[in-house]
């Protein structure tokens, strides 16, 4: 293959501001390329991005469907995932704006489905269809209560013993949901309310002081904080906030008699981190206080509406107690803590707002918010609300030392009265002496409806195959049956299961039997734990509730997903799903075991909707279970109509680095009236469809994504470390510490290494050892296994770890301290301890940190950098000597130590994330995806753990492939000097031997202080140097030979001055032609030009001197600044679209001496026109926006953004050095 390739050099070389002409790039694609190279240069549409296609509020029409799909095809979209919403308001994506809308599942709607499928077939597009109407999750009005999501319910009856009790036990009823945000049903049908099934009736003696609380004991409450109502503060039923403060202070409870404190219930009104992290103090005199503990916040999901949380505290007895608030800065981004509630002010709202770019959190205060506090004498399971899976949450385990067994109900004291209760709920029982509590347990529907679906029907049971089957057949199955087997086989190829927003289910008609089959013991006498009442001991209670959550995770995978896959495969379809966490209690990796492709999502602009754990769940789920495609619902959230490809590129690249290899752009909203612009929007998401101003020139961005995805969908990920996520449930793939505060890699890897996460199931069933590596069935290999810090293990996992180490694995992790489960009883616990003693031996994690066992090694307490050094494993990728190219100052990726950078920021607000990378291998080839996350040039030396092979740059923005012309090998590593352009990304490929290569290894400049601009052109064995300024350089090759090249004179860049003819096609159909100097259109006094949105065409004839065209010169057109995209034509020849810096393009072969016609089509976004129209009466507006949360466009007087060719424009040249 012939290559004419150019490299941007560091060292004495400075910034390069120009690119190859598209004609040269196109020439590179002429020829017969095989395999991976061909898939990169000429990627198939099938590897490209998809879109989320919303039929919002039934706003789909025949002409709209045809226009939508035609637009997708012209943009190069590979497929669309169809979501259909009924008529309605915001919940369905906005108001209905057409007459006679076709509601889902009606004959008219099926006619549109037929049209969509036939058009997609004609255009070569594939379709996926969401599992139900709406976006969450899997339900409809065809789901009966008995096959809906269900939950444990109970009623309590207190009676005095020493008599016969003859009475009716209250039938338990469903309470208010405490997690998720399924759409509220205005009226609950009688059939839902009437559905109830009994489980068991249990009774146990009540300890004497359990009924005491700060409320029942009339504790006196005082505070030095601004409490507005002390009576409400002490009432356990109060939900309205009575205390908000940023000042340090306390809430004091004074009891008449000593009070034994075992738990504290805090109602914060809306999720509030400080309310659940206060210090607990006690005193007997009200003067001298001693700290006895601290409330600890539960990890929560961004949909968790849990405002009331019960905390276990160390048991103590005193007359005075204080909860002390100490103001602290907010923690940086974490999807499992901050802004957890929708009630706190919107999607992912933080208590201090939605910062863009950088906000110094260290100078801010996370303020306290409290509605009520109740001190309890009753022992309670710590954070039982989540440990019972009533809502999604993760909490620490409580040990016996913190909650003594004497505070728990003995297991043998619990009496099963199930057979004593009559069908009508009456009970006839001779009660033993003492006070007794009778608990009637049953289950009923959660009454959780699918978000924005048909009739807001019930969500299906996620634990049973029957629940999966009825959900499948009621929607997706009906569609497939309607379109017929040919279309089902060729067009409708994917069942999509989108956001899990249906709350956390904790029971099902199949659950009891499944639990006892899987765990090996009966659930009956442990049921009080489902209400927070501890049984037997703290550790027994924790182990049982772990078994509940583990069974839930298993059933979601084994029953729901496996049945969905079975049904879909029978119809010729595949299945993908988004992660069940953090809404449905589960194992985030196990959720992907029984689907075909993994999926996730990330948002832009919305801080708390970044979702790095979602991305890592999907990526690791794919890798450990052998799936090739990792999807991301991409750029959800959107901004204010300013977004354009360059703005979004770095954010997208970050997620490519983290494992995504198929973007599904959110959102392509159905356009009912294709000629009305911008058109209809969706409930949320990036505005992206055939009416987007930049959809046609922006195809270069979609082509870029297709090339990136072509490589990232090939081969396998290559990582050094495999992190075990632990056996606790909920479990998630781990993220690096710079990404958040929880579910992080611990101990963390040093810079230069990458990792995957693995769960219990995959580690048990798929991991083996070869040559000291952990190997999975898809031949993914890892050098070291890092165990989770949790020291409780199941016996089967302890046995597996022992076997892996014995066979040669290198393992990092603490010594196990016992069994996590009640399964297997005492014998299981003793087996784990025995294995720990055998394998870890005398390791203590402090003085003894390394031990050999069998053919392998175990490390404990040793920093990962030292472990990797002991393994002689150097970093895979390092970026050395990073500098800001233009200033020469050292560059540091400040977001690597989170202090307030918005990870979802894009464009100019995105900063601090530095240089990122990932590594894949394919059939003997190794390739690295490198991304500059900054909006600046960064100079560095790329140091890669590869040797003996030639490095190549594969440029996904152009399809260009080049041998890296300047590189060297040192100590088994390849070193490549490089200047990263703003937001640049590039692949470095290793595939050919370098044994016979005598490449350039250094460039020496006599004037070391000067910044010199060079490009290197490698053709066969010839090395050509192109210079942008005069000077001399010594080129040194690998064999030590040197030769000098020099340029004596460089042409001064020619400024293109004066006015340009610019044509503005207005939305009225009129064309406004004017003469303009370069600069932003927003500077114009003509309102139509000032607020223009779309594509304006610049024309200018320039006279070029013949001296520019002498031999050994290259000529470039530099546009300076462009807002936002520019298609350039010179003398009628299309040179392509410039969409990111540098806004410069080569015109060597198209320009000529004398007169040259320059034509530039400049495109901006919709923002400016919408801002103008917002201030006009509706009848005078030229734009039309409907539906969604952006209905009506932008607010009046919104600040305009620069638009057009800002310049300065100049003609520059490069001269070949000799």
Q: What is the pLDDT of residue 322?
A: 98
Q: What is the pLDDT of residues 790-816, one digit of tens each?
A: 999 999 999 999 999 999 999 999 999
Sheet-wide strand order for 1154-1163: 1071-1076, 1060-1065, 1095-1104, 1154-1163, 1125-1130, 1133-1138
C-alpha to C-alpha distance for 382 and 532, rounded to whole angstroms:
8
**Lowest model confidence (mean pLDDT) among 260-274, 497-511, 921-935:** 260-274
Domain closes at, from 855, 870, 885: 870
Residue 963 and residue 880 in one domain: yes
- Give the pLDDT band (50/70/90) at residue 1189: low
Q: For the chain, how many structural domains are there in total?
A: 5
Q: What is the pLDDT of residue 19?
A: 35
| Over residues 173-200, mean pLDDT | 75
DSSP readout, 361-407?
GGG----EEESEEEEESS---TTHHHHTTSS-EE-PPPPTTTS-GGG
Assigned domain for 405 exists: no
Q: What is the pLDDT of residue 34?
A: 65
Q: What is the pLDDT of residue 438?
A: 98
pLDDT at residue 875 greater than cutoff 70? yes
Assigned domain for 701 exists: yes
Cα–Cα nearest to 1097, from 1127, 1067, 1054, 1056: 1127
Q: What is the pLDDT of residues 97-145, one digit of tens each?
A: 999 999 999 999 999 999 999 999 999 999 999 999 988 899 999 999 9
Q: What is the pLDDT of residues 1153-1162, one digit of tens each?
A: 999 999 999 9
pLDDT at residue 317 greater than cutoff 50? yes
Task: Return the CATH number at 1122.
Answer: 2.60.120.260
C-alpha to C-alpha distance for 193 and 446, rounded to whole angstroms:
10
Q: What is the pLDDT of residue 25?
A: 33
Assigned domain for 846 exists: yes
Residue 976 and residue 884 in one domain: yes
Which one is predicted more confidently, 380 or 6?
Answer: 380
Listed in order, strand segments (DSSP E) in 554-674 are 574-577, 597-603, 630-636, 662-669
Assigned domain for 166 exists: no
Residue 813 and residue 880 in one domain: no
Domain closes at, from 1017, 1047, 1077: 1047
Assigned domain for 1117 exists: yes
Q: What is the pLDDT of residue 449?
A: 87
| Over residues 510-521, mean pLDDT | 98
Domain closes at, from 870, 893, 921: 870
Cα–Cα nearest to 947, from 882, 876, 1016: 876
pLDDT at residue 1019 greater than cutoff 80? no
Q: What is the pLDDT of residue 575?
A: 98
Residue 372 and residue 498 in one domain: no
pLDDT at residue 896 greater than cutoff 70? no
Q: What is the pLDDT of residue 946?
A: 98
The helix (H) or strand (E) run that includes residue 39 is: helix 35-41
Rg of the chain (C-alpha set)? 33
| Over residues 83-109, mean pLDDT | 84
C-alpha to C-alpha distance for 522 and 528, rounded to whole angstroms:
13
pLDDT at residue 1197 greater than cutoff 70? yes
pLDDT at residue 342 greater than cutoff 70? no
Task: Return the CATH number at 654.
Answer: 3.20.20.80
pLDDT at residue 424 greater than cutoff 80? yes
**Lowest model confidence (mean pLDDT) among 163-167, 610-614, 1005-1009, 1142-1146:** 1005-1009
C-alpha to C-alpha distance for 953 and 937, rounded to whole angstroms:
18
| Over residues 186-194, mean pLDDT | 84
C-alpha distances out from residue 1097 to 908, 1085, 1145, 1205, Å: 26, 19, 17, 10
Residue 988 and residue 892 in one domain: yes
C-alpha distances out from residue 1139 to 51, 639, 1118, 1143, 1161, Å: 21, 19, 13, 7, 12
Assigned domain for 984 exists: yes
Q: What is the pLDDT of residue 1010?
A: 42
- Give the pLDDT band (50/70/90) at residue 606: confident
Residue 419 in 3-state DSSP?
Answer: helix
* φ, ψ at 985 (rounded to 5°): -135, 150
pLDDT at residue 609 greater than cutoff 50? yes
Residue 838's domain spans which residues?
717-870
Q: What is the pLDDT of residue 5?
A: 33
Q: What is the pLDDT of residue 1005?
A: 80
Assigned domain for 429 exists: no
C-alpha distances out from residue 230 to 227, 242, 380, Å: 6, 8, 25
**Residues of the chain with pLDDT > 70: what percent?**
90
Per the DSSP assignment, residues forming a β-bridge with 7 are: 1016
Q: What is the pLDDT of residue 349?
A: 37
Assigned domain for 158 exists: no
Residue 784 and residue 768 in one domain: yes
């Amino acid at each position: 293959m012939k290559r004419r390739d150019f490299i941007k050099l560091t060292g004495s070389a400075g910034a390069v501001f120009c690119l190859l002409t598209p004609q040269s790039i196109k020439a590179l694609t002429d020829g017969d390329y095989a395999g991976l190279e061909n898939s990169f240069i000429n990627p198939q549409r099938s590897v490209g991005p998809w879109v989320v296609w919303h039929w919002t509020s039934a706003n789909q029409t025949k002409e709209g469907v045809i226009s939508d799909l035609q637009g997708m095809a012209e943009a190069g979209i590979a497929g669309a995932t169809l979501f259909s919403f009924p008529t309605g308001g915001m919940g369905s994506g906005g108001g209905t704006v057409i007459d006679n809308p076709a509601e889902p599942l009606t004959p008219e709607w099926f006619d549109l489905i037929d049209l969509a499928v036939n058009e997609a077939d004609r255009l070569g597009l594939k379709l996926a269809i969401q599992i139900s109407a709406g976006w969450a999750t899997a339900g409809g009005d065809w789901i009966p209560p008995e096959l809906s999501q269900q939950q444990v319910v109970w009623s309590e009856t207190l009676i005095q013993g020493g008599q016969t009790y003859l009475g009716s036990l209250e039938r338990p009823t469903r309470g208010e949901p405490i997690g998720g945000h399924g759409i509220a049903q205005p009226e609950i049908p009688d059939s839902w309310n009437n559905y109830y099934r009994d489980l068991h009736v249990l009774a146990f003696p009540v300890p004497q002081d359990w009924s005491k609380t700060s409320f029942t004991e009339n504790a006196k409450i005082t505070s030095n904080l601004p409490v507005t109502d002390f009576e409400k503060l002490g009432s356990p039923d109060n939900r309205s906030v009575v205390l908000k403060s940023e000042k340090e202070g306390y809430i004091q409870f004074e009891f008449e008699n000593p009070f034994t404190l075992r738990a504290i219930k805090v109602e914060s009104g809306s999720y509030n981190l400080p309310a659940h992290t206060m210090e607990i103090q006690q005193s007997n005199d009200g003067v001298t206080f001693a700290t006895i503990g601290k409330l600890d916040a539960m990890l929560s999901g961004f949909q968790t509406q849990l405002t009331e949380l019960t905390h276990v505290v160390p048991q103590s007895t005193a007359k005075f107690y204080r909860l002390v608030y100490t103001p602290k800065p907010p923690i940086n981004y974490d999807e499992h803590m901050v802004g957890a509630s929708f009630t706190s002010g919107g999607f992912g709202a933080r208590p201090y707002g939605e910062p863009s770019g950088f906000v110094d959190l260290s100078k801010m205060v996370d303020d306290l918010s409290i509605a009520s506090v109740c001190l309890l004498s009753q022992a309670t399971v710590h954070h039982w609300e989540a440990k019972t899976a009533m809502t999604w949450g993760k909490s620490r385990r409580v040990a016996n030392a913190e909650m003594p067994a004497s505070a728990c109900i003995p297991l043998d004291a619990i009496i099963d009265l199930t057979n004593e209760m009559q069908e009508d709920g009456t009970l006839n029982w001779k009660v033993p002496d003492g006070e007794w509590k009778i608990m009637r347990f049953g289950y009923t529907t959660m009454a959780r409806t699918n978000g924005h679906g048909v009739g807001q029907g019930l969500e299906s049971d996620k634990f049973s195959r029957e629940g999966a089957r009825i959900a499948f057949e009621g929607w997706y199955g009906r569609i497939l049956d309607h379109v017929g087997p040919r279309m089902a086989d060729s067009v409708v190829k994917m069942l999509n299961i989108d956001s899990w927003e249906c709350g956390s289910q904790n029971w099902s008609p199949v659950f009891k039997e499944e639990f006892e089959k899987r765990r090996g013991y009966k659930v009956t006498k442990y049921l009080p734990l489902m209400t927070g009442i501890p049984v037997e001991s703290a550790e027994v209670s924790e182990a049982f509730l772990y078994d509940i959550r583990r069974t839930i995770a298993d059933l979601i995978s084994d029953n729901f997903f496996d049945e969905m896959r079975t049904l879909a495969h029978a119809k010729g379809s595949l299945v993908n799903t988004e992660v069940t966490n953090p809404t449905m209690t589960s194992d985030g990796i196990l959720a992907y075991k029984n689907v075909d492709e993994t999926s996730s999502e990330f948002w832009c602009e919305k801080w708390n909707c970044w979702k790095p754990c979602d991305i890592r769940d999907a990526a690791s789920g794919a890798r450990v279970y052998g799936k090739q495609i990792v999807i991301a619902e991409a750029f959800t959230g959107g901004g204010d109509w300013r977004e354009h490809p360059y703005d979004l590129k770095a954010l997208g690249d970050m997620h490519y680095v983290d494992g995504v290899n198929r973007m599904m752009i959110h959102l392509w909203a159905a356009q009912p009236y294709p000629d009305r612009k911008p058109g209809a929007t969706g409930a949320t998401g990036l505005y992206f469809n055939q009416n987007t101003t930049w959809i046609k020139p922006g195809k270069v961005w979609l082509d870029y994504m297709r090339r990136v995805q072509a490589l990232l969908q090939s081969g396998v990920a290559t990582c050094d470390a495999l992190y075990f996520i632990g056996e606790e449930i909920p479990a998630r793939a781990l993220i690096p510490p710079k990404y958040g505060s929880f579910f992080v890699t611990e101990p963390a890897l040093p810079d230069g290494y990458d990792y995957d996460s693995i769960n219990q199931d995959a580690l048990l069933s798929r991991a083996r050892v070869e040559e000291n590596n952990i190997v999975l069935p898809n031949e993914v290999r890892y050098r070291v296994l890092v165990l989770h810090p949790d020291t409780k293990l199941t016996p089967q996992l302890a046995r597996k770890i022992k076997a892996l180490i014995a066979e040669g694995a290198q393992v990092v992790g603490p010594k196990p301290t016992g069994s996590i489960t009640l399964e297997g009883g005492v014998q299981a616990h003793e087996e784990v301890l025995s294995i720990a003693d055998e394998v870890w031996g005398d390791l203590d994690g402090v003085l003894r940190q390394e031990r050999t066992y069998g053919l392998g090694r175990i490390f404990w307490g040793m920093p990962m950098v030292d472990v990797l050094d002991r393994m002689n494993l150097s970093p895979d990728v390092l970026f050395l000597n990073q500098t800001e190219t233009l200033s020469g100052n050292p560059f540091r990726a400040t977001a690597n130590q989170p202090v307030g950078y918005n990870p979802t920021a894009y464009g100019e607000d995105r900063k601090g994330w530095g240089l990122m990378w990932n590594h894949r291998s394919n059939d003997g080839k190794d390739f690295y995806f490198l991304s500059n996350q900054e909006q600046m040039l960064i100079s560095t030396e790329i140091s890669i753990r590869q040797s003996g092979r030639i490095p190549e740059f594969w440029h996904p923005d152009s399809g260009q492939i080049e041998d890296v012309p300047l590189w060297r090998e040192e100590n088994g590593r390849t070193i490549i000097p490089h200047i990263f352009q703003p937001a640049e990304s590039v692949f470095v490929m290793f595939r050919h031997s370098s044994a016979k290569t005598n490449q350039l290894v250094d460039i020496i400049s006599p004037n070391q202080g000067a910044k010199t601009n060079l490009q290197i052109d490698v053709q066969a064995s010839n090395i050509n140097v192109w210079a942008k300024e005069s000077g001399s350089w010594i080129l040194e090759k690998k064999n030590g030979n040197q030769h000098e090249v020099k340029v004596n004179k460089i042409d001064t860049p020619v400024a293109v001055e004066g006015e340009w003819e610019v044509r503005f096609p207005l939305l009225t159909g009129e064309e406004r032609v004017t003469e303009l100097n370069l600069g932003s259109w927003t500077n114009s006094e003509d309102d139509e030009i000032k607020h223009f949105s779309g594509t304006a065409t610049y024309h200018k004839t320039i006279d070029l001197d013949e001296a520019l065209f002498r031999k050994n010169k290259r000529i470039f057109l530099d546009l300076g600044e462009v807002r936002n995209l520019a298609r350039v034509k010179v003398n009628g020849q299309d040179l392509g679209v410039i969409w990111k810096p540098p806004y410069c393009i080569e015109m060597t072969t198209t320009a000529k001496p004398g007169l040259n016609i320059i034509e530039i089509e400049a495109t901006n976004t919709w923002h400016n026109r919408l801002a103008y129209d917002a201030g006009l009466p509706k009848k005078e507006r030229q734009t039309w926006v409907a539906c969604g949360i952006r209905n009506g466009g932008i607010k009046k007087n919104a600040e305009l953004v620069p638009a057009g060719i800002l310049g300065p424009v100049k003609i520059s040249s490069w001269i070949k050095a000799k």
